[in-house]
Amino acid sequence: MWLGPEEVLLAGALWVTERANPFFLLQRRRGHGKGGGLTGLLVGTLDVVLDSSARVAPYRILHQTQDSQVYWAVACGSSRKEITKHWEWLENNLLQTLSIFDNEEDITTFVKGKIHGIIAEENKNEQPQSEEDPGKFKEAELKMRKQFGMPEVEKLVNYYSCSYWKGRVPRQGWLYLTVNHLCFYSFLLGKEVTLVIQWVDVTQLEKNATLLFPECIKVSTRDSELYFSMFLNINETFKLMEQLANIAMRQLLDNESFLQDKSLPKPRKPLKNISALKRDLDARAKNECYRATFRLPKDECLDGHTDCTLWTPFNKMHIPGQMFVSNNYICFASKAEEACHLIVPLREVTIVEKADSSSVLPSPLSISTKSKMTFFFANLKDRDFLVQRISDFLQRTPSKKPCSIEREWKWNLADPGCEEVPELPSSSPLAVSPMSALSNRPVNFCAGEVPTASQGLLKLFRRNSEELLGPKGAKEKMKEESWNIHFSEYGRGMCMYRTAKTRGLVQKGIPENLRGELWLLFSGAWNEMVTHPGYYADLVEKSMGKYNLATEEIERDLHRSMPEHPAFQNELGIAALRRVLTAYAFRNPTIGYCQAMNIVTSVLLLYCNEEEAFWLLVALCERMLPDYYNTRVVGALVDQGIFEELTREYLPQLSEKMQDLGVISTISLSWFLTLFLSVMPFESAVVIVDCFFYEGIKFILQVSLAILDANMEKLLQCCDEGEAMTILGRYLDNVVNRQSISPPIPHLHALLTSGDDPPLEIDIFELIKTSYEKFSNLKADDIEQMRFKQRLKVIQSLEDTAKKSVVRAVSSDIGFSIEELEELYVVFKAKYLMSCYWGNNRAAAARRDQSLPYLEQYRIDVEQFKELFISLTPWSCGAHTPVLAGRLFRLLDENRDSLINFKEFVTGMSGMYHGDLTEKLKVLYKLHLPPALNPEETESALEATSYFTEDVTTEVSPFVSELDFCLHCESQETQEDKERRSENGPEKEEKGTSPQDYRYYLRMWAKEKESKKETIKDLPKMSQEQFIELCKTLYNMFSEDPVEQELYHAIATVASLLLRIGEVGKKFSNRPMRKSEDCKANNTQDPVSEEESPTSEQSQNSAVEQRPQADHEDKTCGDAQPEKTQQENQTLGDGSGEGQGSPLQLLSDDETKDDMSMSSYSMVSTGSLQCEDIADDTVLVGCEGSSSAARYGSTIDTDWSISFEQILASMLTETALVNYFEKKVNILQKIKDQKKVERQFSSSSDYELSSVSG
């Protein structure tokens, strides 16, 4: 490539000049190529350690003038061919022109201008892309691609200098982190190390420090542990590795592959050596942290953040912290963790203005909202730019009516005694004040079909309780008053100042009248509801009357959802629950419906109306409890792992005992999935939910630890899991809420765990207080870090389980061992995953359906199959191999969806690796019959199909499918049986469920199973065109074999013989045609005349004798033996046209009776080769008289056929062929070689490989 001219002072240092003229030098890097010696090793080591560009481009062209000591680099190349092309261009286009100049400075100026012009012309079309990444980074990406053989779609994220510890020796080199791989390269004095690891194979990432490895990163896979150290910035590297591994796990979990965010704002000043992808990943990490901190919607993107102070009117202070600005929100977080959090939606903002600066308050900014609140920020570094950004976002913010609804909502809550209900558009079926205590009349939903709950069900179904008038009622009123005072000081609604005092009030329990409002605010669900007006109503309308697996499961669980509560003992509550769950299943089909969602949703409906409950469920499933409610409850398993880790840290004594008993895995799932609602009395569990919506999963974990801590002594004395479960069950049943104003609801779990002793009651608020006192030092950031670590472990564990279940499912039918199947599964899955991230489109990812059984989840297309086939097949056919692979794929793809699963793949592979000569030949034979053989590959055969339709002998057209053939030729079935079945069939169908009906279908199923177990008699005959294709395949298969000449001679002999047999059979096939028809009509299985029988017997005997004779051919028979064989086979060929049922079998009945072929999808293929590749004598033997007729695809061509038995018998006469097909091939070695090939790097470096690991 041409380079912008760069000055070079020492042209001879580490470079060797190969060509020169008065103006240019062509140089090669010393040590590059063969014979570099010690100097070459030293130079190579320096290049790697210093990350020299000479690693990628070991050739260069320098411009020089005679009297100048300065050289200019004008071009470089990775190969001699590339650099020679540039050199020739310079010689042809510049040398003559340069000789005219008198002044050397003019020469240099002219050369520079010319080179710059060439570069500008080349980059004209690539200008937009070239601005994305800095030049140095592009060079590193080029090195990575050449070194590790990666395609262009594999993007480099960043690269770091570090040491890889091989044994106790550190190897200094470069670590390249790409989107899908971790790669390392080192070259030190001839010792080369190359590592390539897929992120999906990483099972553990740890940053630790030991005596041996000072501050290193440990990368674990299933096979190895790798240690990297001596990083300049180990924290940055580790963080990036975590992100990339997390993306890979997400891909395994829900098929989300990495898509770069093209909408990232460009940096205000160019960033040195930071790629666009690295900026993208950094932005993602910040976005995730921002959204989690302030509970914002999933699509919210952080635009920027800056240090500032916020004036807090409640304590008259300026609190230092950071302001965060995104598309729809302005947020503030104080530096002291609990001092103050603030969320201001831009939809609420009315005025943003700059106030006058002073020495006390530099650069102040005030923001006013519709709810008459004003927020005062100061100490802003770049105030003008910030105000401009906020103004831009405000202009884009749509002015929607939901803002007015929000104010009415707050107003109604603030004054529950007001009787005026705000008027809302009648078009919205849910246009009811969300928490209006007055609209007790249920509103009709969707044209009045089913009543909907326009408010929390608790208000509709509250029993008249004396508690409202007693001390509990007074306590409830005091709580409400405390919150009203809080609202007056800190604000109400989304823009409330959230402080330690807010948390304190939540811990004391939220009053029932405010519970729905505060759940919506603290979870962030209110933001999504306000910005999506009418969304829930539309979803309900679309989902009504639709049925799928999710709706069936929902119907089954509806009446199990809090059946003890009166709200769910009638149709109103059940219908509301049905609508919310069904609407969510339609919103998120990936999750659909999962058990435990019904319990949580029923509690949400008690305090919120349907739409609010729906958005709370969205917040729970998609943000607060990620991956909890998918089919494999991965999120709950991840948090269970965190719980075990925290137990080890905080309760080490108990941890070991719990591990022995296996209790944690049992208890934690039910605790976490239902937020304690299924294991605690309702009025106590709902206080847990209050704190959860404010604190998140951190609170659930600390309460779980507090419960174990409270029962530690009893648990340490347990003997088994059952005893431990009983202790914990009794404890949770007796956690009471003495402040609840609702009448106690009987807890079903309590009935099962009640003992003889009177239970000791535990106050829920005491339990919460204890959990904060003992375990409050848990941090949300630490939990996220632990979640990442556990997610790696859980997903890889699930993948291992999937692999074992798939291997177990297919092992019984396949000849491979368990170890071989596991290795094949890994290769198959890797090929699928590669298509997901290297494919040009996302079709590969789209075809993985998580709801399918494990066996069906990974499927590959024909191109991927060809790649695997080429690397794994024992039948390598050179350039012909892809064609054979295509044929095998068509044979395996039974349902014709152009995809095959793992079972079909290993079935095809097994056909080539296992079984005797007959089985392998059967596979090869089927690859040259439809459906494996494409009609285009034998065009003349297509013309012949019309003749086969009139042929009523048992000979079957090669274009008839195997299933049709088996049904047509079922040997045990008589015509009377068929008639009887056709008469009985409709009657059976009408009976429906009679016992005979089931027995009939069982018989049918058994017959279908039997039909798959075909013998060699069942194989259709092969036409001449198909036979020639088979010969082409065999000729290609034998090339480059050690005994190539012997095999060629053997196949020439066999092909000549079989062509003659076919020709002779063709002449006889026309004569007995009518006789065959008569025989078939009389249900005669073997229509053979008496005079033909002796010939048949003779041929059988000769076939059996042929193999031993062939073994001694050279010693005893000389050239006579092949002639004898041909004569004998020519005799037996007389009856070959008689079809499938003729007795001209070349194997005895005993041999064929029990012969089981591969099932119809167990075959292999390779494609068409040029006819010239077949020896002339092979093609011409036996075809002299028919060449002109064959040219027109006449009747003679269609009558030519050969049977599998004849091919088998002929091949048995040749020892070389028998040995070739019976030799054993180790597939594990093939897989190992395939992995090595995939990790081979390009020939950009000519250093000899001395060690390749990974």
SS3 of 366-435: the string is EEEECCCCEEEEECCCCHHHHHHHHHHHHHHCCCCCHHHHHHHHHHHHHCCCCCCCCCCCCCCCCCCCCC
pLDDT score, position 1: 64
Residue 867 has pLDDT above 50, yes or no: yes
pLDDT tens digit sequence for 778-790:
888 889 889 999 9
pLDDT band at 993; cut points 50, 70, 90: very low
Tokens 């530099």 sit on residue:
362
Higher pLDDT, 766 or 55: 766
Of 856 and 38, the structure prediction assigns the larger pLDDT to 856
The per-residue pLDDT for range 645-675, each reduced to its tens digit, is 999 999 998 988 888 887 888 787 889 999 9
How much is the average pLDDT of 941-947?
Answer: 38
* pLDDT tens digit sequence for 1073-1088: 544 444 444 443 433 3
* Residue 87 confidence class, pLDDT cut points 50, 70, 90: confident
Is the pLDDT at 435 greater than 50, yes or no?
no
pLDDT of residue 965: 37
For residue 552, the model assigns a pLDDT of 92
In the prediction, which pLDDT does 1085 show? 40
Using pLDDT thresholds of 50, 70 and 90, give the confidence band for residue 1063.
confident
Q: Residue ranges of the alpha helices (H) in 491-596?
A: 500-507, 512-523, 525-531, 535-543, 549-557, 571-587
Q: In what order do the strands lie in the sheet with 302-312?
A: 341-345, 329-334, 317-326, 302-312, 374-378, 365-369, 349-354
Residues 810-823: pLDDT tens digits? Answer: 888 788 889 999 99
Q: Please give the C-alpha separations between residue 316 and each of 311, 500, 505, 993, in angstroms, as whole numbers.
A: 7, 16, 21, 81
Contact yes or no for 486/502 (Cβ under 8 A) = yes
pLDDT band at 905 (very low <50, low <70, confident <90, very high): very high
- The answer, yes or no, to whether residue 498 has pLDDT greater than 90, is yes
Which residues is 330 bridged to in the sheet? Answer: 325, 344
**Segment among 227-236, 270-279, 538-547, 1157-1166 with least mean pLDDT:** 1157-1166
pLDDT band at 974; cut points 50, 70, 90: very low
pLDDT attached to residue 925: 92
Least confident of 302-311, 394-403, 631-640: 394-403
Please report the sign of the dihedral spanned by the C-alpha atoms of residue 1090, residue 1096, residue 1102, residue 1105. negative
pLDDT at res. 815: 84
Give 1129-1175 pLDDT, tens digit per residue: 433 333 333 333 333 333 333 433 334 333 333 333 333 333 334 43
pLDDT for the residue 835: 76
Pick from 1188, 1182, 1186: nearest CA to 1133: 1182
Point out the least confidently predicted range of 7-21, 123-137, 730-744, 1235-1249.
1235-1249
- Residue 1251: band (very low, low, confident or very high) from pLDDT cuts 50, 70, 90: very low
Task: Name the band, by pLDDT with cuts 50, 70 and 90, for residue 539.
Answer: very high
Give the Å distances, CA to CA, from 220 to 32, 206, 1240: 35, 9, 22
pLDDT of residue 763: 93
d(CA 941, CA 959): 9
Cβ contact 501:340 at 8 Å: no
Examine the pLDDT at 774 and tell me if it is beyond 80: yes
| Residue 408 confidence class, pLDDT cut points 50, 70, 90 | very low
* pLDDT value at residue 606: 93
pLDDT grade, residue 577 (50/70/90)? very high
Confidence of residue 452 (pLDDT cuts 50, 70, 90): low
More confident call, 680 vs 846: 680
**What pLDDT shows up at residue 212?**
65
pLDDT at residue 375, rounded to an integer? 94
**CA angle (424, 430, 432) in 5-degree steps:** 50
Of 758 and 471, the one with more pLDDT = 471
Q: Give the pLDDT score at 963.
A: 36
Average pLDDT over residues 830-848: 65
What type of residue sits at position 812?
S
d(CA 289, CA 293): 6
Are 336 and 347 in contact, with CB atoms under 8 Å apart? no
Radius of gyration of the chain (CA): 40
Model confidence pLDDT, tens digit, residues 276-299? 888 888 888 899 999 999 999 998
Percent of the chain's residues with pLDDT above 90: 31
**Cα four-point dihedral sign 1216, 1219, 1221, 1225:** negative
Strand ranges inside 78-221, DSSP E? 156-166, 169-178, 181-188, 191-198, 202-208, 216-221
User: What per-residue confidence (pLDDT) applies to 37?
Assistant: 55
Answer with the residue of higher pLDDT: 636 or 337.
636
Least confident range of 273-287, 993-1007, 1025-1039: 993-1007
CA separation for the pair 207, 217 (Å, rounded): 5
* 3-state class (DSSP) for residue 883: helix
pLDDT on residue 53: 53
Q: Is the pLDDT of residue 83 over 90?
A: no
Listed in sequence order, the residues at least 6 apart from 1162 whose beta carbon sits closer than 8 Å to its beta carbon are 892, 907, 908, 910, 911, 923
Are the beta carbons of 387 and 365 closer than 8 angstroms?
A: yes
Average pLDDT over residues 1039-1055: 89
pLDDT, position 685: 93
Classify the phi-psi angles of 1157: left when phi > 0, otherwise alpha if psi is within -120 to 50, otherwise beta: beta
Q: Is the dihedral of CA 389, 390, 392, 396 positive or negative?
A: positive
Q: What pLDDT score was predicted for residue 1231?
A: 83
The pLDDT score that the predictor gives to residue 52 is 53
Distance in angstroms (rounded) separating the CA atoms of residues 602 and 599 = 5
Residue 414 scores a pLDDT above 80: no
Which helix (H) or strand (E) segment holds residue 990: the answer is helix 975-991
Q: What is the pLDDT of residue 453?
A: 63
> Is the pLDDT assigned to residue 396 strictly greater than 80?
yes
pLDDT in tens, 350-381: 999 988 888 778 889 999 999 889 999 999 98
Mean pLDDT across 888-909:
90
Average pLDDT over residues 170-181: 89
| pLDDT score for 1112 | 42
Question: pLDDT digit string (tens) for 107-151?
Answer: 888 887 887 787 777 766 554 444 455 667 777 888 788 888 888
CA distances to 268, 301, 751, 934 from 385, in Å: 12, 18, 65, 67
* Bridge partners for 159 per DSSP: 176
What mean pLDDT, rounded, does the chain reach? 75
Q: Distance of CA 738 to CAs 352, 506, 748, Å?
A: 48, 16, 19
Task: Give residue-wise pLDDT tens across range 702-741.
Answer: 999 999 999 999 999 988 888 888 999 999 999 998 888 7
Dist CA 456 CA 454 (whole Å): 7
The torsion angles phi and psi of 448, rounded to 5 degrees, stand at 70, 25
Residue 780: helix, strand or coil by DSSP? helix
pLDDT of the residue at 1237: 58
